[in-house]
Structure 1
Protein backbone atom coordinates (compact mmCIF):
# COMPACT_ATOMS: atom_id res chain seq x y z
CA UNK A 1 0.00 0.00 0.00
CA UNK A 2 3.03 2.28 0.00
CA UNK A 3 2.11 3.81 -3.36
CA UNK A 4 -1.49 4.63 -2.36
CA UNK A 5 -3.10 7.23 -0.09
CA UNK A 6 -6.09 6.21 1.99
CA UNK A 7 -8.12 9.11 3.31
CA UNK A 8 -10.86 7.24 5.22
CA UNK A 9 -11.14 3.92 7.07
CA UNK A 10 -14.28 2.00 8.04
CA UNK A 11 -13.77 -0.59 10.77
CA UNK A 12 -15.88 -3.20 12.50
CA UNK A 13 -15.72 -6.50 14.34
CA UNK A 14 -17.99 -9.06 12.73
CA UNK A 15 -19.56 -12.01 14.52
CA UNK A 16 -21.17 -14.88 12.62
CA UNK A 17 -23.97 -17.25 13.45
CA UNK A 18 -21.71 -20.28 13.18
CA UNK A 19 -19.91 -22.25 15.88
CA UNK A 20 -16.24 -21.35 15.83
CA UNK A 21 -13.49 -23.22 17.63
CA UNK A 22 -13.34 -20.29 20.05
CA UNK A 23 -16.66 -18.51 20.68
CA UNK A 24 -14.80 -15.32 21.64
CA UNK A 25 -13.31 -14.97 18.17
CA UNK A 26 -14.62 -12.46 15.66
CA UNK A 27 -13.37 -11.13 12.34
CA UNK A 28 -11.88 -7.63 12.31
CA UNK A 29 -12.53 -5.76 9.08
CA UNK A 30 -10.96 -2.60 7.67
CA UNK A 31 -12.12 -0.95 4.44
CA UNK A 32 -10.26 2.09 3.10
CA UNK A 33 -11.09 4.83 0.60
CA UNK A 34 -8.30 5.95 -1.70
CA UNK A 35 -7.66 9.54 -2.73
CA UNK A 36 -9.52 8.86 -5.99
CA UNK A 37 -12.59 7.68 -4.07
CA UNK A 38 -12.31 3.92 -4.52
CA UNK A 39 -13.18 1.69 -1.57
CA UNK A 40 -10.93 -1.32 -0.98
CA UNK A 41 -10.66 -4.14 1.52
CA UNK A 42 -7.50 -3.50 3.56
CA UNK A 43 -7.67 -6.06 6.35
CA UNK A 44 -9.59 -9.16 7.35
CA UNK A 45 -8.16 -10.71 10.48
CA UNK A 46 -8.84 -12.84 13.55
CA UNK A 47 -9.81 -10.83 16.58
CA UNK A 48 -10.51 -11.63 20.22
CA UNK A 49 -13.65 -9.85 21.49
CA UNK A 50 -12.67 -6.76 19.44
CA UNK A 51 -9.95 -6.11 22.03
CA UNK A 52 -7.37 -3.33 22.01
CA UNK A 53 -4.43 -5.74 21.39
CA UNK A 54 -6.26 -7.37 18.47
CA UNK A 55 -7.03 -4.04 16.83
CA UNK A 56 -3.53 -2.72 17.49
CA UNK A 57 -2.08 -5.77 15.73
CA UNK A 58 -4.32 -5.14 12.70
CA UNK A 59 -3.37 -1.46 12.51
CA UNK A 60 0.34 -2.17 12.91
CA UNK A 61 0.08 -4.69 10.09
CA UNK A 62 -1.49 -2.02 7.87
CA UNK A 63 1.40 0.30 8.65
CA UNK A 64 3.95 -2.45 7.95
CA UNK A 65 2.29 -3.06 4.58
CA UNK A 66 2.74 0.57 3.59
CA UNK A 67 -0.14 2.57 5.05
CA UNK A 68 2.25 4.96 6.78
CA UNK A 69 0.36 8.24 6.25
CA UNK A 70 -2.39 8.75 8.82
CA UNK A 71 -5.88 8.52 7.26
CA UNK A 72 -8.00 11.60 7.91
CA UNK A 73 -10.94 9.82 9.53
CA UNK A 74 -11.84 6.38 10.88
CA UNK A 75 -15.50 5.38 11.14
CA UNK A 76 -16.65 2.68 13.54
CA UNK A 77 -19.00 1.77 16.35
CA UNK A 78 -18.30 2.33 20.02
CA UNK A 79 -16.10 -0.74 20.53
CA UNK A 80 -13.47 0.59 22.92
CA UNK A 81 -10.70 -1.69 21.70
CA UNK A 82 -10.33 0.03 18.35
CA UNK A 83 -10.52 3.57 19.72
CA UNK A 84 -7.80 2.80 22.28
CA UNK A 85 -5.56 1.24 19.63
CA UNK A 86 -6.01 3.90 16.94
CA UNK A 87 -3.96 6.76 18.50
CA UNK A 88 -1.11 4.34 19.23
CA UNK A 89 -0.64 3.72 15.50
CA UNK A 90 -2.25 6.65 13.64
CA UNK A 91 -1.99 9.54 16.02
CA UNK A 92 -3.66 12.25 13.92
CA UNK A 93 -6.58 10.20 12.55
CA UNK A 94 -9.90 11.53 13.81
CA UNK A 95 -12.71 9.24 14.95
CA UNK A 96 -16.31 9.20 13.74
CA UNK A 97 -18.87 7.10 15.62
CA UNK A 98 -21.42 5.26 13.50
CA UNK A 99 -24.85 6.86 13.78
CA UNK A 100 -26.72 3.61 13.15
CA UNK A 101 -25.02 1.91 16.10
CA UNK A 102 -25.40 4.97 18.31
CA UNK A 103 -29.08 5.38 17.48
CA UNK A 104 -29.73 1.75 18.43
CA UNK A 105 -27.80 2.17 21.69
CA UNK A 106 -29.73 5.30 22.68
CA UNK A 107 -33.13 3.85 21.78
CA UNK A 108 -32.40 0.74 23.86
CA UNK A 109 -32.31 3.00 26.91
CA UNK A 110 -35.78 4.42 26.21
CA UNK A 111 -39.22 2.84 26.66
CA UNK A 112 -40.72 1.56 23.42
CA UNK A 113 -43.41 4.23 23.51
CA UNK A 114 -40.73 6.93 23.24
CA UNK A 115 -38.55 5.30 20.60
CA UNK A 116 -40.25 6.46 17.34
CA UNK A 117 -40.20 10.13 18.37
CA UNK A 118 -36.65 9.88 19.72
CA UNK A 119 -35.44 8.17 16.55
CA UNK A 120 -36.83 11.04 14.46
CA UNK A 121 -35.11 13.56 16.76
CA UNK A 122 -31.78 11.76 16.41
CA UNK A 123 -32.26 11.73 12.64
CA UNK A 124 -32.58 15.53 12.75
CA UNK A 125 -29.08 15.72 14.25
CA UNK A 126 -27.07 13.66 11.81
CA UNK A 127 -28.99 14.73 8.73
CA UNK A 128 -28.65 18.45 9.50
CA UNK A 129 -27.33 20.58 6.64
CA UNK A 130 -24.64 22.29 8.74
CA UNK A 131 -22.62 21.61 11.88
CA UNK A 132 -24.42 24.45 13.69
CA UNK A 133 -27.83 23.02 12.84
CA UNK A 134 -26.65 19.64 14.09
CA UNK A 135 -25.43 21.20 17.34
CA UNK A 136 -28.81 22.88 17.81
CA UNK A 137 -30.69 19.63 17.18
CA UNK A 138 -28.33 17.83 19.56
CA UNK A 139 -28.99 20.40 22.30
CA UNK A 140 -32.74 20.09 21.71
CA UNK A 141 -32.62 16.31 22.13
CA UNK A 142 -30.70 16.67 25.38
CA UNK A 143 -33.13 19.28 26.71
CA UNK A 144 -36.20 17.18 25.90
CA UNK A 145 -35.01 13.78 27.15
CA UNK A 146 -32.62 14.54 30.01
CA UNK A 147 -35.27 15.14 32.73
CA UNK A 148 -36.75 11.61 32.44
CA UNK A 149 -34.22 9.56 30.46
CA UNK A 150 -30.79 10.46 31.77
CA UNK A 151 -29.12 7.19 30.68
CA UNK A 152 -30.20 7.66 27.06
CA UNK A 153 -28.91 11.23 27.02
CA UNK A 154 -25.62 10.23 28.68
CA UNK A 155 -25.13 7.55 26.02
CA UNK A 156 -25.49 10.20 23.31
CA UNK A 157 -23.56 13.03 24.96
CA UNK A 158 -20.42 11.05 25.76
CA UNK A 159 -19.58 10.76 22.04
CA UNK A 160 -20.78 14.19 20.92
CA UNK A 161 -17.57 15.30 19.19
CA UNK A 162 -17.02 11.93 17.55
CA UNK A 163 -20.61 11.79 16.31
CA UNK A 164 -20.28 15.16 14.60
CA UNK A 165 -16.71 14.79 13.29
CA UNK A 166 -17.87 14.19 9.71
CA UNK A 167 -18.93 17.84 9.37
CA UNK A 168 -15.24 18.80 9.08
CA UNK A 169 -15.02 16.96 5.75
CA UNK A 170 -16.43 17.64 2.28
CA UNK A 171 -20.24 17.60 2.23
CA UNK A 172 -20.21 15.19 -0.72
CA UNK A 173 -18.69 12.57 1.59
CA UNK A 174 -21.08 12.87 4.53
CA UNK A 175 -23.37 10.12 3.25
CA UNK A 176 -20.36 7.76 3.35
CA UNK A 177 -18.93 8.92 6.68
CA UNK A 178 -21.88 8.92 9.07
CA UNK A 179 -22.15 5.13 9.36
CA UNK A 180 -20.25 1.88 8.88
CA UNK A 181 -22.63 0.97 6.05
CA UNK A 182 -19.79 -0.01 3.64
CA UNK A 183 -19.08 -2.89 6.02
CA UNK A 184 -22.61 -3.58 7.26
CA UNK A 185 -24.17 -3.83 3.79
CA UNK A 186 -21.44 -6.18 2.58
CA UNK A 187 -21.58 -8.46 5.58
CA UNK A 188 -25.35 -8.71 5.55
CA UNK A 189 -24.88 -10.74 2.36
CA UNK A 190 -21.88 -12.62 3.72
CA UNK A 191 -23.87 -13.66 6.81
CA UNK A 192 -26.56 -15.14 4.61
CA UNK A 193 -23.97 -17.35 2.96
CA UNK A 194 -22.21 -18.39 6.16
CA UNK A 195 -25.54 -19.07 7.91
CA UNK A 196 -25.85 -22.20 5.77
CA UNK A 197 -22.67 -23.61 7.31
CA UNK A 198 -23.25 -26.52 9.68
CA UNK A 199 -21.14 -27.79 12.53
CA UNK A 200 -18.07 -26.26 14.17
CA UNK A 201 -15.96 -24.20 11.78
CA UNK A 202 -12.22 -23.56 12.05
CA UNK A 203 -10.91 -20.00 12.07
CA UNK A 204 -8.92 -20.68 8.92
CA UNK A 205 -12.02 -21.95 7.10
CA UNK A 206 -14.27 -19.05 8.05
CA UNK A 207 -11.57 -16.49 7.19
CA UNK A 208 -11.03 -18.05 3.76
CA UNK A 209 -14.76 -18.19 3.07
CA UNK A 210 -15.38 -14.61 4.14
CA UNK A 211 -12.35 -13.30 2.24
CA UNK A 212 -13.58 -14.77 -1.04
CA UNK A 213 -17.11 -13.42 -0.52
CA UNK A 214 -15.90 -9.91 0.38
CA UNK A 215 -13.46 -9.74 -2.54
CA UNK A 216 -16.33 -10.65 -4.85
CA UNK A 217 -18.50 -7.89 -3.36
CA UNK A 218 -15.65 -5.35 -3.54
CA UNK A 219 -16.09 -4.99 -7.30
CA UNK A 220 -19.48 -3.38 -6.74
CA UNK A 221 -18.66 -0.99 -3.89
CA UNK A 222 -19.80 2.58 -4.43
CA UNK A 223 -17.09 5.21 -4.90
CA UNK A 224 -17.01 8.42 -2.87
CA UNK A 225 -19.20 11.21 -4.18
CA UNK A 226 -17.59 14.33 -5.62
CA UNK A 227 -14.19 12.81 -6.40
CA UNK A 228 -11.63 14.00 -7.30
CA UNK A 229 -12.41 17.63 -6.50
CA UNK A 230 -13.56 17.03 -2.91
CA UNK A 231 -10.61 14.80 -2.05
CA UNK A 232 -8.17 17.29 -3.58
CA UNK A 233 -9.66 19.92 -1.27
CA UNK A 234 -9.43 17.55 1.70
CA UNK A 235 -5.79 16.70 1.12
CA UNK A 236 -4.83 20.36 0.97
CA UNK A 237 -6.64 21.58 4.10
Structure 2
Protein backbone atom coordinates (compact mmCIF):
# COMPACT_ATOMS: atom_id res chain seq x y z
CA UNK A 1 0.00 0.00 0.00
CA UNK A 2 1.38 3.37 -0.92
CA UNK A 3 2.04 5.93 1.73
CA UNK A 4 -0.48 8.70 2.26
CA UNK A 5 1.14 12.11 2.02
CA UNK A 6 0.31 14.16 5.07
CA UNK A 7 0.06 17.92 5.07
CA UNK A 8 2.09 19.28 7.97
CA UNK A 9 -0.01 21.06 10.60
CA UNK A 10 -0.19 24.83 10.60
CA UNK A 11 2.12 25.95 13.36
CA UNK A 12 3.00 29.29 14.91
CA UNK A 13 6.17 29.27 12.80
CA UNK A 14 4.06 28.84 9.67
CA UNK A 15 1.96 31.85 10.67
CA UNK A 16 5.11 33.89 11.31
CA UNK A 17 6.51 32.97 7.91
CA UNK A 18 3.25 33.96 6.27
CA UNK A 19 3.26 37.33 8.04
CA UNK A 20 6.88 37.97 7.07
CA UNK A 21 6.11 37.01 3.47
CA UNK A 22 3.23 39.48 3.38
CA UNK A 23 5.41 42.21 4.85
CA UNK A 24 8.20 41.49 2.37
CA UNK A 25 5.69 41.70 -0.46
CA UNK A 26 4.34 44.98 0.88
CA UNK A 27 7.87 46.37 1.16
CA UNK A 28 8.60 45.49 -2.47
CA UNK A 29 5.31 46.99 -3.69
CA UNK A 30 6.05 50.22 -1.81
CA UNK A 31 9.58 50.32 -3.26
CA UNK A 32 8.33 49.89 -6.81
CA UNK A 33 5.60 52.47 -6.32
CA UNK A 34 8.00 55.06 -4.91
CA UNK A 35 10.45 54.37 -7.76
CA UNK A 36 7.61 55.01 -10.24
CA UNK A 37 6.85 58.27 -8.41
CA UNK A 38 10.49 59.30 -8.69
CA UNK A 39 10.69 58.52 -12.42
CA UNK A 40 7.57 60.59 -13.02
CA UNK A 41 8.99 63.46 -10.96
CA UNK A 42 12.33 63.42 -12.84
CA UNK A 43 10.58 63.81 -16.20
CA UNK A 44 10.22 67.55 -15.60
CA UNK A 45 14.04 67.86 -15.53
CA UNK A 46 14.90 65.64 -18.50
CA UNK A 47 15.65 68.60 -20.78
CA UNK A 48 17.78 70.31 -18.15
CA UNK A 49 21.48 69.62 -18.88
CA UNK A 50 24.84 70.62 -17.53
CA UNK A 51 27.43 72.41 -19.69
CA UNK A 52 28.89 69.05 -20.74
CA UNK A 53 25.45 67.74 -21.82
CA UNK A 54 24.74 65.46 -18.88
CA UNK A 55 21.56 65.33 -16.81
CA UNK A 56 21.46 68.23 -14.38
CA UNK A 57 19.18 66.49 -11.85
CA UNK A 58 20.13 62.96 -10.81
CA UNK A 59 19.47 60.33 -8.15
CA UNK A 60 21.52 60.67 -5.00
CA UNK A 61 21.05 57.59 -2.80
CA UNK A 62 18.26 57.19 -0.24
CA UNK A 63 17.00 58.75 2.93
CA UNK A 64 17.58 56.64 6.06
CA UNK A 65 15.37 53.54 6.17
CA UNK A 66 12.45 53.86 8.54
CA UNK A 67 9.51 51.77 9.75
CA UNK A 68 5.90 52.60 8.98
CA UNK A 69 3.28 50.96 11.16
CA UNK A 70 0.57 49.37 8.99
CA UNK A 71 -2.41 47.08 9.38
CA UNK A 72 -0.06 44.09 8.91
CA UNK A 73 2.57 45.34 11.33
CA UNK A 74 5.75 47.38 10.75
CA UNK A 75 7.03 47.68 7.17
CA UNK A 76 10.43 49.25 6.40
CA UNK A 77 10.61 51.83 3.61
CA UNK A 78 13.42 53.70 1.84
CA UNK A 79 12.70 56.89 -0.07
CA UNK A 80 15.24 57.92 -2.75
CA UNK A 81 16.92 61.34 -2.86
CA UNK A 82 17.91 63.53 -5.79
CA UNK A 83 20.38 66.37 -6.28
CA UNK A 84 21.04 69.09 -8.82
CA UNK A 85 24.49 69.37 -10.39
CA UNK A 86 23.85 73.06 -11.04
CA UNK A 87 23.39 73.87 -7.36
CA UNK A 88 19.67 74.69 -7.75
CA UNK A 89 17.60 73.48 -4.77
CA UNK A 90 15.57 70.41 -5.71
CA UNK A 91 14.05 67.65 -3.60
CA UNK A 92 11.79 64.66 -4.10
CA UNK A 93 8.97 64.01 -1.66
CA UNK A 94 6.92 60.85 -2.06
CA UNK A 95 3.16 61.22 -1.87
CA UNK A 96 2.83 57.56 -0.89
CA UNK A 97 5.34 57.85 1.95
CA UNK A 98 5.37 61.50 3.09
CA UNK A 99 8.25 62.78 5.24
CA UNK A 100 8.07 61.77 8.90
CA UNK A 101 5.02 59.50 8.45
CA UNK A 102 5.16 56.73 11.03
CA UNK A 103 1.66 55.23 10.89
CA UNK A 104 -0.45 54.32 7.88
CA UNK A 105 -4.15 55.14 7.74
CA UNK A 106 -4.90 51.40 7.84
CA UNK A 107 -3.47 51.28 11.37
CA UNK A 108 -5.40 54.33 12.53
CA UNK A 109 -8.55 52.74 11.06
CA UNK A 110 -8.04 49.81 13.45
CA UNK A 111 -8.43 52.06 16.49
CA UNK A 112 -12.15 52.93 16.09
CA UNK A 113 -12.80 49.24 15.32
CA UNK A 114 -11.20 48.31 18.64
CA UNK A 115 -13.36 50.90 20.40
CA UNK A 116 -16.44 49.20 18.97
CA UNK A 117 -15.17 45.98 20.54
CA UNK A 118 -15.02 47.67 23.95
CA UNK A 119 -11.26 48.32 24.21
CA UNK A 120 -10.50 51.35 26.39
CA UNK A 121 -7.84 53.98 25.68
CA UNK A 122 -5.56 52.54 28.34
CA UNK A 123 -5.79 49.03 26.84
CA UNK A 124 -5.43 50.13 23.21
CA UNK A 125 -1.67 49.78 22.94
CA UNK A 126 -1.76 46.25 24.41
CA UNK A 127 -4.54 45.27 22.00
CA UNK A 128 -2.62 46.59 18.98
CA UNK A 129 0.55 44.80 20.07
CA UNK A 130 -1.47 41.57 20.32
CA UNK A 131 -2.77 42.12 16.79
CA UNK A 132 0.36 43.46 15.10
CA UNK A 133 3.24 42.36 17.28
CA UNK A 134 5.58 44.27 19.62
CA UNK A 135 6.52 46.67 16.80
CA UNK A 136 3.19 48.48 17.10
CA UNK A 137 4.71 51.45 18.91
CA UNK A 138 3.89 55.14 19.00
CA UNK A 139 0.25 54.64 20.02
CA UNK A 140 0.18 56.04 23.52
CA UNK A 141 -2.98 57.20 25.27
CA UNK A 142 -2.17 60.78 24.28
CA UNK A 143 -1.83 59.75 20.60
CA UNK A 144 -5.19 57.98 20.71
CA UNK A 145 -6.80 60.96 22.44
CA UNK A 146 -5.45 63.20 19.67
CA UNK A 147 -6.96 60.90 17.05
CA UNK A 148 -10.31 61.02 18.86
CA UNK A 149 -10.18 64.83 18.75
CA UNK A 150 -9.47 64.71 15.01
CA UNK A 151 -12.37 62.31 14.45
CA UNK A 152 -14.65 64.67 16.35
CA UNK A 153 -13.63 67.55 14.11
CA UNK A 154 -14.19 65.45 10.97
CA UNK A 155 -17.64 64.48 12.27
CA UNK A 156 -18.56 68.12 12.91
CA UNK A 157 -17.55 69.07 9.36
CA UNK A 158 -19.55 66.14 7.93
CA UNK A 159 -22.71 66.86 9.93
CA UNK A 160 -22.78 70.48 8.73
CA UNK A 161 -22.14 69.82 5.03
CA UNK A 162 -24.70 71.29 2.62
CA UNK A 163 -27.38 68.99 1.18
CA UNK A 164 -28.64 71.50 -1.39
CA UNK A 165 -26.72 70.05 -4.35
CA UNK A 166 -28.86 66.89 -4.56
CA UNK A 167 -32.54 66.08 -4.86
CA UNK A 168 -33.35 63.59 -2.13
CA UNK A 169 -35.96 61.09 -3.32
CA UNK A 170 -36.55 59.18 -0.09
CA UNK A 171 -35.08 58.54 3.34
CA UNK A 172 -34.72 55.65 5.73
CA UNK A 173 -34.73 56.37 9.46
CA UNK A 174 -34.11 54.32 12.58
CA UNK A 175 -33.13 54.63 16.21
CA UNK A 176 -30.27 52.38 17.35
CA UNK A 177 -30.11 51.69 21.07
CA UNK A 178 -26.80 51.09 22.83
CA UNK A 179 -28.06 50.11 26.28
CA UNK A 180 -26.65 53.31 27.83
CA UNK A 181 -28.87 55.43 30.02
CA UNK A 182 -28.84 59.07 31.02
CA UNK A 183 -30.53 59.19 34.40
CA UNK A 184 -33.97 57.69 33.60
CA UNK A 185 -33.77 58.24 29.82
CA UNK A 186 -32.73 55.57 27.35
CA UNK A 187 -30.20 56.94 24.85
CA UNK A 188 -30.03 56.00 21.19
CA UNK A 189 -28.44 57.08 17.92
CA UNK A 190 -30.88 58.58 15.42
CA UNK A 191 -29.83 57.63 11.90
CA UNK A 192 -31.07 59.06 8.60
CA UNK A 193 -30.02 57.56 5.25
CA UNK A 194 -31.02 59.41 2.08
CA UNK A 195 -31.26 58.21 -1.52
CA UNK A 196 -30.56 60.79 -4.23
CA UNK A 197 -31.99 61.08 -7.72
CA UNK A 198 -29.36 58.68 -9.10
CA UNK A 199 -30.26 56.00 -6.57
CA UNK A 200 -27.12 56.47 -4.45
CA UNK A 201 -27.37 56.08 -0.69
CA UNK A 202 -25.80 58.60 1.69
CA UNK A 203 -25.66 58.92 5.46
CA UNK A 204 -27.36 62.24 6.18
CA UNK A 205 -27.44 62.26 9.98
CA UNK A 206 -26.18 60.26 12.95
CA UNK A 207 -27.24 62.11 16.09
CA UNK A 208 -27.81 61.38 19.77
CA UNK A 209 -31.44 61.05 20.80
CA UNK A 210 -33.61 60.15 23.78
CA UNK A 211 -36.07 57.26 23.32
CA UNK A 212 -36.76 58.29 19.70
CA UNK A 213 -38.91 61.10 21.05
CA UNK A 214 -40.64 63.65 18.85
CA UNK A 215 -38.35 66.39 20.15
CA UNK A 216 -35.18 64.40 19.36
CA UNK A 217 -36.34 63.60 15.82
CA UNK A 218 -37.52 67.17 15.34
CA UNK A 219 -34.05 68.50 16.13
CA UNK A 220 -32.52 66.08 13.60
CA UNK A 221 -35.00 66.99 10.84
CA UNK A 222 -34.71 70.71 11.56
CA UNK A 223 -30.93 70.52 11.14
CA UNK A 224 -31.37 68.65 7.84
CA UNK A 225 -33.69 71.43 6.65
CA UNK A 226 -31.12 74.06 7.59
CA UNK A 227 -28.51 72.14 5.57
CA UNK A 228 -30.78 72.33 2.53
CA UNK A 229 -32.49 68.94 2.39
CA UNK A 230 -35.68 69.01 0.35
CA UNK A 231 -38.89 67.32 1.51
CA UNK A 232 -38.44 63.66 0.45
CA UNK A 233 -41.07 61.91 -1.64
CA UNK A 234 -41.04 58.90 0.68
CA UNK A 235 -39.92 58.14 4.21
CA UNK A 236 -39.34 54.62 5.51
CA UNK A 237 -39.10 53.71 9.18
CA UNK A 238 -40.61 51.68 11.99
CA UNK A 239 -43.61 52.64 14.01
CA UNK A 240 -41.83 55.08 16.32
CA UNK A 241 -44.44 57.82 16.70
CA UNK A 242 -41.84 60.45 17.53
CA UNK A 243 -40.37 60.49 14.01
CA UNK A 244 -43.68 60.62 12.17
CA UNK A 245 -44.99 63.44 14.33
CA UNK A 246 -41.75 65.40 13.82
CA UNK A 247 -41.79 64.74 10.05
CA UNK A 248 -45.33 66.07 9.71
CA UNK A 249 -44.46 69.16 11.71
CA UNK A 250 -41.24 69.99 9.85
CA UNK A 251 -41.92 68.91 6.25
CA UNK A 252 -45.64 68.35 5.68
CA UNK A 253 -47.13 71.60 6.98
Q: Same fold (TM over 0.5)?
A: no
Which structure has more RCO (C-alpha within 8 Å, separation ≥ 6)?
1
TM-score (norm 1): 0.36
TM-score (norm 2): 0.34
